[in-house]
Amino acid sequence: MNRKMNAFLRMVPLALVMGTIFFLSHQPGDSLSLPKIPGADKLVHMIVYSVLAGAVFVAWSEQQKDRNPLALILFTFVFCFLYGISDEFHQSFIPGRTASVYDLLADCAGAAITCTFWARWRKKVIMIKYQ
């Protein structure tokens, strides 16, 4: 498969996750039903942005991942943070929805969890690769 097609296919999960977040954020507040568990909405934010961070990692080629893993981690976290800001801003225009710093913090926590797991997994893979 040629490189351009491969790069395009790696971007598909990222586009799907971002599109899903946008779609869900565009739903009026009264149309969403979460369990009546305290903090359930924050847990959902963490999970969704953890998946977003994973999709960002998938979008990069192995050569890019090998070149500078720390920069990739930083880029992924900042990307998720900025998308979280845009998501909260978007929600501020939707009836029954509000922008929340706490939602943004949950988004960042989810992204940070995935970044941490990726860094640890990547370190193990590199150690095995060069033994």
Q: What does the pLDDT look like over 53-75, one tens digit per residue?
A: 999 999 998 888 888 888 899 99
Which tokens sit at 79?
């990307």
* Mean per-residue pLDDT, 98-119: 95
Tokens linked to 99:
């922008």
Per cent of the chain over pLDDT 90 is: 58
SS3 3: helix
- Of 115, 124, 34, residue with least CA distance to 72: 115
Q: Which residues of 97-106 are buried (b: 16+ CB within 10 A; e: fewer)?
A: beebeebbeb
What is the mean predicted confidence (pLDDT) over 105-117?
97
